[in-house]
Structures are given as structure tokens and as C-alpha cells.
A and B are shown apart, each in its own frame.
Chain A
Amino acid sequence: MSTLTEAAVESAVRELTYAEAIREALAIAMEADERVFLFGEDVGVYGGAFGVSGDLVHRFGPDRVIDTPISELGIAGAAVGAAITGMRPVLEIQFSDFVTLAMEQIVNQAAKIRFMFGGKAKVPMVVRLPGGSGTGAAAQHSQSLEAWFAHVPGLKVIQPSTPHDAKGMLLAAIDDPNPVLIFEHKLLYKTKGHVPEGDYRVPIGKAAVRREGRDLTIVGSSIMAVRAVAAAEKLAQEGIDAEVIDLRSLRPIDFDTIAASVRKTHRLLVVYEGVKTMGIGAEISAMIAESDVFDFLDAPIIRLGGAEVPLPYNPVLEKAAVPQEENILEAARRLARGEA
């Protein structure tokens, strides 16, 4: 009954890393449903390039945790074929950058089959894509390409930021009768957080308000939501009360939550790791500008996105190419002052 007791319980919760949370979701799904299988490059005994699949091959055997040749187009197509004939494939693309090799199957086939066939097929597949910068992996192993896919009707694109959401959203994705791409930020894999036991779902297409505030709204997903929350705590000490929205899902996008927040705060900062131009920020800004929320803007919208450059190797340059906490702080201060 008492909220004090609840607080006590809350403090005794177990914590998992983001990678462990994903592994737990995979195990739960494979345990519950024979049709679910994981495949990809080095997901077997190696345990996945980022250790996400770990020991799953020993628990479920090599027929359900399948090492594949280095054939991104081929395995993406295999996921499509398995999905339309009754399986629930979960495909790991080792680095999200390699999805460029699989574009054909994801964009031309997975996304369109149901529609092209007049609704007579379902493509319940999940593609897991470790992405993002910050590991010194340079230009071909550090990109954030999620916006490309968010442009494609027929796909769903999600970007959980916490271990809790990573597990809940992956389980929701596996259950979803549509192709779902889950972009996992490599820097988040080792972050820890509360993860409930057992099976639970975090719905796709619903943003989370991570921090309530009255002065301005910061929208971000994945690691940018994490950085935005950290920045917001510092802003609070400066008297700037920022609301932080963790988008979680890019397609479908939860515009209602963004709209309600901007209607309240009148100021919007969109933070995303993908290259700024033609990115998520452009879409959200345009949605605001096109809607009745436009009338509630009391300052120009600020977009904080990746620099117009391939990701550099040098660590100083690499950081400079992608929004960091300090950049969010600085942008939020500008926004609070109403500067464009």
C-alpha cells in the first residue's frame, strides 16, 4: 500500500546490462516459441561480435542459433523466406553498417511483400543492428543509418535506450507480424539498468517521458536519450527545467507524446546521432511545423545531429562528429534563451 514500501522494493531490483537484457529476451522467446531462431555471422560459439548471443548456442543448439557465412544480402533474404513460411527469424547484422549489403532484401522484399501480395503474407522477422559511434571503429563501422529505414513503409524501426526497454521491445518485436529493425547502440551494451524477470513487452511506437519539465523539450532516442537525461539533470541546476522524451521507436513515431510536450514547454530540441541533414530531426521539426503545435512554439526548433562527415577514427574528432552531453547542454541553453 505505502509508496515508501514500494520504494524499498524498487531499490532491491536486479540489474542487467543492455546486452544481457537482449540475450534474456532471445532466450525467453526461443524457450516459448519453437519458431524463433537466431542467426547471423559469428552468433554461435563465438557468442556474437559484441557478445550479445553469448552462450545461447549451448542452450538452444546450433539449429536454432545458426552461424551464417558472411553473406548479408543472403541472410537478410533468408530471414524473409523463413518469415513468410511460418518461422520467426531474428537476424543479427554484425555491424549495422553492413546492412548496406542487405538493403535489397530489407527494403524491396521484406517491407513490400505484404502490400504487393495484397495482404496475403506476413513477414514477422527481426533484424538486430549494432550501430553508432564511440568505439573508434571509424567510418564503415560506426554509422547511425536508422533514418534510412524509417523512410520505408512496411518496416518498423526501434531504438531502445535502456536494458529494460531493450528486453521488452525485442520481445515485442519478435511477436510483431511485421519486419522490425532494432538498432542497438554499441556503447549501450555494457550499460546496466533494472530489468524485470520473465516475459514483458514494451510496446513499439510509444515514446517514454524520461524526465518531466516545463521549460523545453529534448527529444532523442537510443544513447541520445541517455545523454539528454544526463544533460537535463545539469540544466535543472541552472534553473532550466527540461523535459526529456525517449523516442524509442522511429517508425511508427509517437508524435502525440512529442506534441503534448511541446504544447507544454513551447521549445523543442531534437538530438540524434545520424547525420543532421535529412534526418530524424528534420522529420520531427516538420511534423511540429505542420501541426497545430506550431502555434505553441515560443522559440525556433533546434536540431542537434551528426556532423556532415564520415565518422573519423581519431577519438577527439570522433566525439566532435556526434552530439555529446556538452553539446546538448549548450544547445538547450541556447534554446532556453530563444536563440536560433
Chain B
Amino acid sequence: MKADTDTTAQRPNQRPELAAIDDETMRGVLRKMHLIRKFEEAAEASYMRGLIHGTMHLSIGQEASAVGSTLPLKAEDYILSTHRGHGHCIAKGADPARMFAEFFGKENGYCKGRGGSMHIADVEGGNLGANGIVGGGLPIAVGVGMSIKAQKLDRVAVVFFGDGASNEGAFHEALNMASIWKLPILFVCENNKYGMSMDVSRAMAVPNVADRAVAYAMPGIIVDGNDLPAVAAVAREAAERARSGGGPTLIECKTYRLRGHSKSDRNLYRTKEEIEEWRNRCPIRRLEAELVAHGRFTPEELMTIEEAAQAEIDAALEFAKASPDPDPKDLTRDVYAD
């Protein structure tokens, strides 16, 4: 029990990005990264056993960008997520039990079983929803930014999207408007190298998504998306700029999805070697190794955090399985608000 009193001064060898996250916060970070990983592994297992229908898009390997980008956010700040959004959701504070319930199509899921994996939203928790349309959240984020500004709120919006979405017109329209109106938005591109099967180098004429920020006169920052402290540091700076009226930032997290695009992906477009190489850059193990190397946590402490996350996920899964199904008589409920 020494971690609580750690400071940068006591650990001079730490890089500043790591030192900026105190131990208590770091416990939370680790817990969330494990929750995301184990949530998705459990979801995948349930899917393979036929307990979940439809499809799902797993973000295993991308946990650092989800947790790092949301680390500087307050409860009342907003996120807008993507079809690969389980990580963003948990990072913003969602309850895995209600997420599982949604996956199982249950009445007490986040969307009462009406949305499923691709549409999980927790509006009260500031999560304005995952989105099944590539680039769908980007223009919405502009409106959220306008809303924050009009209501003079001290809030920011983080909108996640992939490298593929940056080729949509919506991306360009949204960045342009956010910039001309100096809206408090963090555009977080999770560049996981493939838009479904298409390599980003074949889909874009510029090497980096962040290069596109130049066209909209906003900062475009490239960060190692598997390096949590680095992502968090970039996000913190962008959030501060947004809150102080400095306008939006485009952040490009270079990362990699270890699973296929969806459950029907046979990985024909990439090599086993490439996947293996990225597996070795696992953001969770990297962070844990660094923390142990600097003496901030012992392996036993880390194991305790991971086991607690596993227990939480196991309980969440049981909650979902035991939850009630929707009643077909409520089929058309909530199409319109009264």
C-alpha cells in the first residue's frame, strides 16, 4: 500500500505523461481497460455460443484510445461513439451489466433492447450514442458543440470515428463548421489501419488523418493510440483548449483492432504476422509493464485489479441473462415523444 502517495517528484524517471496520472486515477484507468477487454471477450464468447444475435464490432487492442481520450472528461461532458463503441461507452462510465443486457436484447438494457451493440447510448451519462453509420456522429457533434456554446456551458464533446469515416463528406463538413464557429469538440480518430478491409494507405492520399486538420485550420495531432498516458496527455490539452474557447482539435490515435471488422471477417486482407506484431503492443500489458518498471504498482496489485474487473464482468453477464425480454406489445413504443 504505497501507491496512493506517489508523485512525480518521487519518481523522477517517469515520462511526464505517465506521471500526470496519479495512482488513484490510474487504478480507475486500469479497471476500465480491463473491463473493456473482458467485456468484449465475454461478448465474443456469448456470441459464439449463440447467446447473442446480430453482429458486433470488437475493439480489442484499442482500449487505450477509448480510456485515454475520455480521461480528461467530466461526468457532464459528452461523447459520441461509433459502431465499434463498447470501449468508449465503458470509458465514459457505463455499467457493463446494462450493456450486456442490451446485447441480449433485454428490457433493462441501456436501450431496452431496441438498439443493440451498435446503438448503445447513455444520454444521462453524457454518452450520446454509438452510431451504426460511418461518420454519422460527426455532424451531430457540431450541433452538440453549438448547443454547449449557446447555453454557455463549461462542457466539451468528444466524437470518436475511424480512419474510414474521415473519407466521408460528413467528416469534412463537420470539421469545417466546428472550426469556423470555434466549437468545443475533440475529434478523435481511431486509425486502426483498416476501413473494414481497405488499408488506409489505399483509401487516403495523405499519410495521416491528422494531416487533414490543416484544411480546417485546427491542430492535428498524431499520437500512439496504444500508449494510454500519451493519448490522455493529448486529450487533456485539447479539452483545455476547447473549454477556453480555443476551438476544436483533431487527434489521430494510431492503433489496431486485433479482431476482425465484425464477426464475419476472415482476415483475408492482412497477415497473421501483422496481427501478432500488434498483439505484442497490447495497450494494457504495455501500461502495466511501465507501471511495474517504475515501481508504481506491484504485479500482485495489478492482478487484483484485473481479477476484480473479471468478477464484475461475470456478474454483469449473469445480470443480463436473468433480465426480462421486451414485450412485443410495446413494439412501437418510443418512436415518437409525447
Contacts and interface: CB of A to CB of B under 8 A. Distances in A.
Interface of A: 35, 37, 63, 68-69, 71, 73-87, 89, 104-105, 108-109, 113-124, 153-154, 156, 177-178
B334 A81 contact: no
B111 A109 contact: no
A74 B174 contact: yes
B68 interface: no
Contacts, number: 152
A87 B336 contact: no
Given A81-B144, A87-B146, A109-B136, A74 B123 contact: no
Nearest to A120: B123
Interface of B: 78, 80, 109-115, 119, 121-124, 128-129, 131-133, 136, 138-148, 150-151, 169-170, 173-174, 176-177, 180, 332-338
A71 B121 contact: no
Contacts of A113: 121, 129
Nearest to A124: B337
A69 B177 CA distance: 7
Contact of B121 (A83, A108, A120, A154): A120
18 contacts: A68-B177, A73-B170, A73-B173, A74-B170, A75-B173, A75-B177, A81-B128, A82-B144, A84-B144, A85-B147, A87-B146, A105-B140, A109-B136, A116-B129, A117-B110, A120-B124, A124-B337, A178-B336
A89 B143 CA distance: 9
Contact of A85 (B136, B138, B143, B173): B143
A74 B143 CA distance: 9
A118 B114 contact: yes
Q: Which of B150, B336, B337, B338 has the most CB of A within 10 A?
A: B336
A115 B129 CA distance: 12
Given A85-B78, A87-B151, A116-B114, A77 B138 contact: yes
Contact of A154 (B110, B142, B180, B336): B336
A266 B204 CA distance: 62
A81 B183 CA distance: 13
Contacts of A115: 114, 334-335
- Listed residue (A73, A79, A122) with the most chain B CB atoms within 10 angstroms of its CB: A73
B143 A116 contact: no
Contact of A81 (B147, B169, B176): B147
B121 A87 contact: no
A71 B176 contact: yes
Q: 9 closest A-B pairs (Cβ-Cβ)?
A: A77-B139, A81-B143, A74-B173, A119-B334, A118-B112, A118-B111, A71-B173, A78-B143, A177-B337
Contacts of B142: 74, 77-78, 81
Contact of A114 (B131, B174, B180, B334): B334
A261 to B, nearest CB: 26
Contacts of A105: 136, 139-140
Contacts of B78: 85
A121 B114 contact: no
Contacts of A81: 80, 128, 139-147
